[in-house]
Structure 1
Amino acid sequence: MTIEWEADELRGFEKFRLSRKDHALFFIENERDFEAQLYAIKAALSRNKEAEKKAVENIEHMRSQIDLLDPEDHRNADHLNDHLTDMFHESVYSDAAHSMSAVGMLAPFIESLFVAIFEAIRKVEEPTDEVDPRQNAFRDLYWNPQLVIKKGEFGNDLIRGIQELARFSGLEPFLPDGYEKTLTALFAYRNNMFHNGFEWPADKVEKFQNRVKNKHWPETWCYHSSKNDVPWIYYMSEDFIQHCLKLIDEVLDGVGEYLEKREA
């Protein structure tokens, strides 16, 4: 009876197989829990989305209260309309704060994810037991996707670095189509928000607006509030947030497939 039970259990385990995403996570994790980080990011995004929903409901409630007033009740109407204006004004900045929160979590997560991916691939591509400081220093630079060679010197360019290392390592065919466009848009928005705050200088707004058009980024990725019919504050849309989360899953699935091919 016991032997039969153990045989059944073993047959069950024979059918068990790691998903590509899990395979990738096991491959890249080194004292970092990317899955736990991603859960925390999604939870924070969900809380911000609920807060935005509640703010919209409060604005709609205030509108309904104004509609219920007697047409001759100008005093209360003025008071409530002033309050409604304040609520709109506050929502402009609170939504910007949520956008900064989103890009502030997603951009560094994706950057650190690619750094970890190439760190792990390096260990497979270039296993070494000897300690050679000069050689290891070069390898550290070579396998860092944040760095590229520009005019004979190292410079910073994460997206180009990812592309170069992906081609060299054979990972490129397994990365999602158009990932470069997504990362370019994400980091362009991140840089503006983190260097300029919510309200960017007029020239930065115009430059970003032109970049959106010239790079043919989907209109659904970003939207803006306006002041005097001129773009004022740019936001990261819910569509773009979900697109970035999907990209993360697709990158991990791609790394898992890449590992399957290598290990076959």
Structure 2
Amino acid sequence: MGGNTFGLTDRDYAVLLLGDADLEAQLRAIRGQLHQHAQADAALQDDIKDLAERASKASGEYGMHLENSWVDEMHGSVFQDAAQSASAIGMLAPLLESLFVGIFGGIRDIEPPVRPVALAGTRATRASDPDFWDPHFVFSAKGKKSKDVLRGIVQLIETTGLAPRMPADYAQMLGAIFGYRNKMLHHGFEWPPAERTKFEATIGRQGWPSNWFDRSQTNGETWIIYMSDVLIRHTLTRIDEMLDGIGAFIQARYP
């Protein structure tokens, strides 16, 4: 991690681009909430294990009662996991989206108006467009623009020359986060069967690691799809790495 005579790190430079947004506080809050999720999950699993042990030792009506309670807890755990997954994606996806909106807005604001940033690629020809620095938009080779935050972020990263400072799989990670966010936002915990099938196909087509998502099944078919702990940890790690890379990019360009 780089620094300078003022004692600022690469990450500090990236955070400064965001202006008044307190990214560090947001990340601490997210990590704290995720820790609470893990504690709640551990407590529920202990309850389920205890019920299973008691049911195995009991008999008669009481044994049936314990077994039914165990089934209910198992069923409930499916939806607790779904709620926690929805909460995680509901925190991480907006943070990533707002991160890049802020970063590119910051780069725009520090550029002298008489000297545009060194741009390359399709988007470079539209530098005068009022939405040029907005990653919600992507520009086509024909000059048309449309809303697509994933492609807009990637296009701006490539246009500005920031790509070499990004983790190798940053686009893949963002695709998984935004893709899953859209499904949970529109379909809740139990997606229509066709949407589950589409998302499974997307995972394969995009080459996302299989352990980025967990699943509950019913009758041998996918029922509920969760954002896994692996993907959550991976995303938080990549956020740290992207901040370091963005800060290094800024220091190199504006020493």
Which structure shows the bigger proportion of residues in helix conformation? 1
Deviation of the 1:253 alpha carbon: 0.4
Give the structure 1 partner of residue 180 of structure 2. Answer: 189
Give the structure 2 partner of residue 243 of structure 1. Answer: 234
Give the structure 1 partner of residue 121 of structure 2. Answer: none
TM-score using structure 1 length: 0.86
Q: Pick the aligned partner of 1:79 from 57, 65, 72.
A: 65
* Letter of the 2:185 counterpart: F
SS of residue in 1 equivalent to 2:211: coil
CA contact (8 A) 2:48 2:70 kept: yes
SS of residue in 1 equivalent to 2:97: helix
Q: Distance in 2 between matches of 1:168 and 1:235?
A: 34
Please give the per-residue CA displacement for 1:12-64, whole angstroms capped at 9, x wherever unaligned.
Answer: xx9762221122112x2222111111111111111111111111111011112
Larger radius of gyration: 1
CA contact (8 A) 2:85 2:226 kept: yes
Q: Distance in 1 between matches of 2:148 and 2:84?
A: 27
State the 4+ residue runs in structure 1 displaced beyond 4 angstroms. Answer: none
What value does the CA root-mean-square deviation take over the aligned residues?
1.8
Give the structure 2 partner of residue 60 of structure 1. Answer: 49
Q: Distance in 2 between matches of 1:199 and 1:231?
A: 10
Give the structure 2 partner of residue 23 of structure 1. Answer: 13
Give the structure 1 partner of residue 157 of structure 2. Answer: 166
SS of residue in 2 equivalent to 1:225: strand
Q: Distance in 2 between matches of 1:123 and 1:199?
A: 43
Deviation of the 1:82 alpha carbon: 0.4
Q: Distance in 2 between matches of 1:59 and 1:259?
A: 51
Cα 1:148–1:261, aligned 2, differ >3 Å: closer, same or farther?
same
Give the structure 2 partner of residue 122 of structure 1. Answer: 108
CA contact (8 A) 2:55 2:64 kept: no
TM-score using structure 2 length: 0.89
Deviation of the 1:154 alpha carbon: 2.5
Give the structure 1 partner of residue 197 of structure 2. Answer: 206
Q: Distance in 2 between matches of 1:65 and 1:178?
A: 47
Q: Distance in 2 between matches of 1:171 and 1:20?
A: 14
Q: Pick the aligned partner of 2:40 from 48, 51, 57.
A: 51
Q: How many residues align?
A: 239
Deviation of the 1:98 alpha carbon: 0.3
Q: Pick the aligned partner of 1:143 from 119, 133, 147.
A: 133
Cα 1:256–1:97, aligned 2, differ >3 Å: closer, same or farther?
same
Residue 259 in structure 1 maps to residue 245 in structure 2 = no
CA contact (8 A) 1:121 1:169 kept: no
Q: Pick the aligned partner of 2:24 from 23, 35, 38.
A: 35
Give the structure 2 partner of residue 230 of structure 1. Answer: 221
Q: Which segments of 5 or more consecutive residues in structure 1 lack a partner in the other structure? A: 1-13, 129-136
Aligned 1:3-18 pairs, distance under 5 A: 17-18=7-8
CA contact (8 A) 2:18 2:99 kept: no
Cα 1:126–1:158, aligned 2, differ >3 Å: closer, same or farther?
farther
Q: Distance in 1 between matches of 2:77 and 2:166?
A: 37
Residue 157 in structure 1 maps to residue 148 in structure 2 = yes
